[in-house]
Amino acid sequence: MLTAPVPVKRLDPRAKLPAYGSADAAGADLYALTDGPVEVAPGETALIRTGLALAIPKGYVGLVYARSGLATKQGLAPANKVGVIDADYRGELMVSLYNQSRQTRTVECGDRIAQLVIAPYLTAQFQQAEELDDTDRGTGGFGSTGTR
């Protein structure tokens, strides 16, 4: 397991730092910072503050994923499916929660609303090519490798 310091600035004294739920968790929980209950109607999206800004190290990216229990049991998940936080962004970390359920859901201050994974990335040097190498899959598209 690799570790690295990630400076976090509280933009509001009520903000909670990201926290890992277990020793081997890849994602750290992100907590809602609200001034009261926020209702999210079915099919609607609410932008939820965390009250935090990060300084992600160069060569890394912050990826904001759904919390599996919140998404599965309540239907609340990031609207953009996976949020991308670039290493040069210093603004407040916000989570756009989409309600994919059929009931209005409520987000309270301090609720765990998403999880943050810090991961290394590769900056590609895209090069135009006339031909690409052959593979077994070739040009097979969606579902071309089967379902099992």
pLDDT in tens, the chain (148 residues): 788 899 999 999 999 999 999 999 999 999 999 999 999 999 999 999 999 999 999 999 999 999 999 999 999 999 999 999 999 999 999 999 999 999 999 999 999 999 999 999 999 999 999 999 999 888 877 777 777 7
Q: Rounded to two decimals, what is the model's pTM?
A: 0.89
Q: Match domain 8-119 to its CATH number in 3.90.1150.10, 2.70.40.10, 3.40.250.10, 1.10.10.10.
A: 2.70.40.10
Q: CA–CA separation, 66 vs 77, rounded Å?
A: 5
Q: CA–CA separation, 74 vs 83, rounded Å?
A: 19
Q: What is the SS3 assignment for 106?
A: strand
Beta bridge partners of 91: none
